[in-house]
Amino acid sequence: MPEIAVNNLFKSYGPINALRDISFQVDKAEIFGIIGPDGAGKTSLFRILVSLLLPDKGSVQLAGFDVVKDYAEIRKIVGYMPGRFSLYQDLSVEENLSFFATVFGSSIEANYDLIKDIYVQIEPFKKRLAGRLSGGMKQKLALCCALIHRPQVLVLDEPTTGVDAVSRVEFWDLLHKIKKEGITIIVSTPYMDEAARCDRVALMQNGEFLGISLPGDIHKAFTKTLYELTPGQGAYKLLKALRAEAWCKNAWLFGQSVHLTVNDSASETQFLSYAQREKIEFRKITAGIEDTFMELMKTS
């Protein structure tokens, strides 16, 4: 039995369809990532998963419990870290943690081993008010508070948003440690590069999954030939020049290079002679997650 089973989930707010027919399953101790921009529907989905929001249609089971019918059970087995920092800003680090432990009828001591690796990093500041912590520290405290009752399922809504690149790497290292404890993790992020740290990922846009795959297989959804052009300098000028050509299908900036697809094989010939004439270096590349996401966004 999967640890999380979501079947044909729908949710709308007036005319806005936040979730349109979402179905997926997550295994025990899996890290399942949902990657998509703001407004994709990630938060609505997570709020339904933790029983804070009712779906319009469809069902969700966590560890066999139904999120609507068995909501009281769900709340015992779920650890939830909302997207907005929602700890008590006017309580200290230690007070927040002990508050959350007590609410769940547990204590810091009982589950200290689970949070130890994270907590030692914020322990020097345990007397500091939560509202006065830095961004990365707040995220670590929020993770501790979500874990302190040893949940079976950990639901993390954009835990790395606004967090710098170093703290993001550390945060993901922590998630992998938690996974080893047998805890199932479902996590959302707008950072596409974090896909690589998940066991499986779903790409999400406008209330729909564009696809679910292993991180290493995402590029398979990108079926066209992709060229990387490296002009050395003036990538933006090259971008504009390419878009003016009839054979150019899509051209996007990727740092100092341009990623290009062309319309058909005749276009390919035209592009090759263009590149030769303009002396532009290029090579065929495997699509990255952003290439794939942009491609799927267009065709969906």
Partner 1 sequence: MENPENIIVVKNLVKRYGDFTANDNLCFEVRKGEIFGFLGANGAGKTTAIRILCGLSYPTSGKINVAGFDAYTQRELIKRNIGYMSQKFSLYDDLTIAENIRFYAGIYGLSQKVIKSRTNQLLHRLGMEEIRNRLIRDVPLGWKQKLAFSVAIFHNPAVVFLDEPTGGVDPVTRRQFWEMINEAAEEGITVFVTTHYMDEAEYCDRVSIMVDGKIAALDTPQNLKKSYKTSDMNGVFLTLARGE
List residues near partner 1 by CB under 8 A.
36-39, 134-136, 158, 161-169, 190-193, 205, 236, 239, 252-256, 290, 293-294, 297
Q: Which is nearer to partner 1, 100 or 222 (CB)?
A: 222
Please classify residue 182 by burial: count the beta carbons closer than 10 Å to its beta carbon, then call 0-12 exposed, 13-18 middle and 19+ buried: exposed
For strand 208-213 and strand 200-205, is the pairing parallel, antiparallel, or unpaired?
antiparallel
d(CA 87, CA 186): 20
Cβ at position 76, least distance to partner 1 in Å: 32
Nearer to partner 1, 37 or 64 (CB): 37
User: What's the min distance (Å) between Cβ of 166 and partner 1?
Assistant: 5
Please state the closest distance from residue 44 (CB atom) to partner 1, in A.
15
For 44, half-sphere exposure in the C-beta direction (CA atoms, 13 angstrom radius) is 25
Find the shortest distance in angstroms from Cβ 211 to partner 1: 15
CB of 265 to partner 1, least distance (A): 26
Beta pairing class for 226-230 and 257-262: antiparallel
CB 260 within 8 A of CB 268: no
Element (H, E) at 260: strand 257-262
Q: How far is the CB of 158 from partner 1 (least distance, A)?
A: 8
Residue with smaller CB distance to partner 1, 5 or 137: 137
CB nearer partner 1, residue 233 or residue 273: 233
Q: Which is nearer to partner 1, 94 or 158 (CB)?
A: 158
- Whether 70 and 60 have beta carbons less than 8 Å apart is answered as no
Distance CA 229, CA 27 (A): 41
Distance, CA of 224 to CA of 135 (rounded, Å): 40
Question: CB under 8 Å to 149, separation ≥6 — which residues?
Answer: 76, 79, 100, 101, 104, 105, 106, 111
Residue type, 76: K
CA distance 106 to 178: 18
- Closer Cβ to partner 1, 61 or 292, answer by number: 292
